[in-house]
Amino acid sequence: MKKSILLIGAITVCIVLSLSGYVVGTITHNEVSREIRFGYQHSEQANRVDYPHVFTDVENQTIVDNLMMTYLHKEKIESANVNVEEPDLYMSVGSPKQSVILINARIWFSTDGAIVGERRGESWDEVAFYRMDERDARYIMDTIEYEESNQ
């Protein structure tokens, strides 16, 4: 009799622990709040950008943090001698949770770093330019395994 009560008690405790673990997992479910995408202009369709490199704060928290710190480390410049329509790399930072793009940028790599163009208006007619040092540009290139032939 005591053994059967003990067995029923142990089974009940296991069921309660399993259910509470399931409920806690459901309540604390991680949802993507930041997404950083890097892409290239499609070779056949000029108006299309393909984003093969996507990093989220759920799957790649360290990469997202490092990319944001790298991006914030850039310094403003007055102008840049780049073709706004032909960047080396497209970058966007978004919040899928809120369905909004927070940063829409284009990047041009050079031997001493990179130029970042950030859209400031409804179109690319209003652009703020920034300079990124060689170390930060190299971090982005290494993270996405960038090669000139990717374009």
**Residues 45-64: pLDDT tens digits?**
888 999 999 999 888 999 99
Residues 74-127 have pLDDT tens digits of: 999 998 999 999 999 999 999 998 889 999 999 999 999 999 999 988 888 899
Q: What φ, ψ does residue 24 adopt, rounded to 5°? A: -60, -40
Tokens for 18, please give them: 């399993």
The DSSP element (H or E) to which 50 belongs, if any, is strand 49-56
Higher pLDDT, 21 or 86: 86
Give burial (CB, 10 Å; 0-12/13-18/19+) of 103.
middle
User: What pLDDT is stored for residue 16 in this prediction?
Assistant: 79
Closest CA to 144 of 54, 49, 74: 54
What pLDDT does residue 142 have?
A: 95
> Which residue type occupies 74?
K
d(CA 5, CA 15): 15
- Return the percentage of the chain with pLDDT > 70, whole number: 91
What gap in Å lies between CA 117 and CA 138, rounded to an integer? 17
Domain ranges of the chain: 1-30, 35-150
Phi first, then psi, for residue 55 (nearest 5°) are: -120, 130
The whole-model pTM stands at 0.76
Are 115 and 78 spatial neighbours (Cβ–Cβ below 8 Å)? no
Q: Tell me the three state secondary structure of residue 140.
A: helix
